């Protein structure tokens, strides 16, 4: 038997999450980010009074006598301990009834399969959740968090962080070329925290420009300015704003070097043919970038920092996750700014001694070439990341009416509203 209780010491709660490979979203900071919700902090201890589990239960009212619940990413515990998981589910089910929570969703980060190979612990936990009469919610896109992600394993056989070169050598050939030549094309990388953005608000404006262009291109919606600001604030110091910009002066300086080298080579000497072709290609690439900027009426001579790509990364404990990211349309194909952005994020993770770098989740349909996320799937695969499939989202149903409203009626009404909006 394990003892479950409500923990009031948030420092103790957060430390347990950090020390046991949890996510920052499972800490009090996750509660702060969800401003419309109130957190209940649950912990468990064994007979020796050792802490063995934590659980952040977020609650929000949806009616006068009923509430909605959400347990982000499930429990922080040893999921191979079946008895602990069983007792935790019993406790949570009882607590949700006591708190008048009609419907509570939970989406544990328990691996069901890695690269299509089933995980024994994950299979066992899935059965435990189903045996506890939790309903597995499927096909709720886009309202459900995707159950599949891509994680780059940064650890060697001894569990230590690999070098950047060891990681990069397994990238796809085209990706490695883009990364290697990015600085030659004038790309530079910067990282900021909340205090930087507060002092220089234009940084967040530039990031929003990136996200808006990206989501328009993907025919999707993005979060608000305030949401991103609050994320950097609430998850400080773990959250970082990552930005890539184009330095026109640097691009021109490198091109001038290429032209000088080219002028010294004998075009009739076949020994120089390969180098001549490479230098000529780089010079032509620069001319295309200049032309693209001119066609878009961007004065590259005065625009010393043309931000092209950006993202938000959280490094918590020994794991990192790329929460958001995108690139502008301008110079997108000629600089491959998104490649360089994610390469530098990986480098940051390695510098922080992380053992896993999560490229973020994606919906199951991505493997269908006709799906709008197929290109995103190919992008993630180019980094040689492992495909990780979690056991999915489950619902604790104390009110069948609430479950029907939130899983059937609400999506239907949203689809109708979307269609009506599209006809205007």
Write the pLDDT tens digit of every residue in 179-217.
999 999 999 999 999 999 999 999 999 999 999 999 998
Q: Is the pLDDT of residue 162 over 60?
A: yes
State mean pLDDT over 120-146. Answer: 84
> Residue written as tokens 């009404």?
413
Question: What is the 3 state secondary structure string of the chain?
Answer: CCEEEECCCHHHHHHHHHHCCCCHHHCHHHHHHCCCCEEEEEEEECCCCCEEEEEEEEEEECCCCCEEEEECCCCEECCCCHHHHHHHHHHHHHHHHHCCEEEEEECCCCEEEECCEECHHHHHHHHHHHHCCCEEECCCCCCCCCCEEEEEECECCCCCECCHHHHHCCCCHHHHHHHHHCHHHCEEEEEECHHHHHHCCHHHHHHHHHHHHHHHHCCCCCCCHHHHHHHHHHCCCCEEEEEEEECHHHHHHHHHHHHHHHHCCCCCCHHHHHHHHHHHHHHHHHHHHHHHHHHCCCCCCCCCCEEEEEEEEEEECCEEEEEEEEECCCCHHHHCHHHHHHHHHHHHHHHCCCCEEEEEEECHHHHCCCCCCHHHHHHHHCCCCEEEEECCEEEEECCHHHHHHHHHHHHHHHHHHHHHHHCC
Enumerate the CATH 3.40.630.30 domain ranges in the chain, comma separated: 3-147+391-422, 154-247+305-384
Cα distance between residue 111 and residue 114, in whole Å: 7
Whole-prediction pTM: 0.91
Q: How confident is the model at residue 96 (pLDDT cuts 50, 70, 90)?
A: very high
Q: How confident is the model at residue 415 (pLDDT cuts 50, 70, 90)?
A: low
Superfamily holding 3-147+391-422: Gcn5-related N-acetyltransferase (GNAT) (3.40.630.30)
pLDDT tens digits for range 10-62? 999 999 999 999 999 999 999 999 989 999 999 999 999 999 999 999 999 98
Superfamily holding 154-247+305-384: Gcn5-related N-acetyltransferase (GNAT) (3.40.630.30)
Predicted local distance difference test score (pLDDT) of residue 268: 82
Average pLDDT, the chain: 91
């Amino acid at each position: 038997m394990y003892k479950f209780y409500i923990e009031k010491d948030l420092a103790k709660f957060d430390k347990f999450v950090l020390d046991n490979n949890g996510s920052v979203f499972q800490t009090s900071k996750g509660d702060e980010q969800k401003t419309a919700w109130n957190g209940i902090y649950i912990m468990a201890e064994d007979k020796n009074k050792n802490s063995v589990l934590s659980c952040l239960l977020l609650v929000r009212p949806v009616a006068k006598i009923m509430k909605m619940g959400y347990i982000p990413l499930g429990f922080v515990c040893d999921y191979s301990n079946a008895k602990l998981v069983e007792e935790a589910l019993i406790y949570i089910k009882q607590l949700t009834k006591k708190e008048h929570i009609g419907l509570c969703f939970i989406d544990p980060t328990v691996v069901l399969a890695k690269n299509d190979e089933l995980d024994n612990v994950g299979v066992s936990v899935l059965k435990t959740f189903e045996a506890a009469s939790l309903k597995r919610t499927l096909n709720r896109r886009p309202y459900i968090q995707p159950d599949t992600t891509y994680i780059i394993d940064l650890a060697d056989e001894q569990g230590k962080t690999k070098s950047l070169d060891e990681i990069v050598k397994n990238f796809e050939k085209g990706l490695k070329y883009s990364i290697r030549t990015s600085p030659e094309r004038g790309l530079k990388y910067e990282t900021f925290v909340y205090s930087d953005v507060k002092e220089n608000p234009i940084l967040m404006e530039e990031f929003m420009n990136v996200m808006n262009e990206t989501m328009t291109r993907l025919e999707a919606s993005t979060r608000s300015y305030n949401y991103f600001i609050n994320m950097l604030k609430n998850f400080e110091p773990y959250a970082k704003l990552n930005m890539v910009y184009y330095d026109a002066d640097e691009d021109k300086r490198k091109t001038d070097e290429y032209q000088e080298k080219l002028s010294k080579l004998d075009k009739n000497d076949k020994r120089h043919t390969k180098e001549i072709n490479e230098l000529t290609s780089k010079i032509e690439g620069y001319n295309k970038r200049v032309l693209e900027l001119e066609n878009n009426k961007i004065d590259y001579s005065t625009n010393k920092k043309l931000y092209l790509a950006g993202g938000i990364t959280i490094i918590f404990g020994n794991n990192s996750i790329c929460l958001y990211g995108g690139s502008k349309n301008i110079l997108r194909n000629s600089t491959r700014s998104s490649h360089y952005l994610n390469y530098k994020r990986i480098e940051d993770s390695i510098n922080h001694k992380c053992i896993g770098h999560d490229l973020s989740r994606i919906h199951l349909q991505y493997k269908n070439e006709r799906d709008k996320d197929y290109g995103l799937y190919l992008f993630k695969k180019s980094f040689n990341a492992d495909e990780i499939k979690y056991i999915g989202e489950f619902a604790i149903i104390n009110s069948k009416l609430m479950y029907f409203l939130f899983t059937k009626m609400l999506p239907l009404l949203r689809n109708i509203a979307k269609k009506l909006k599209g006809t205007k």
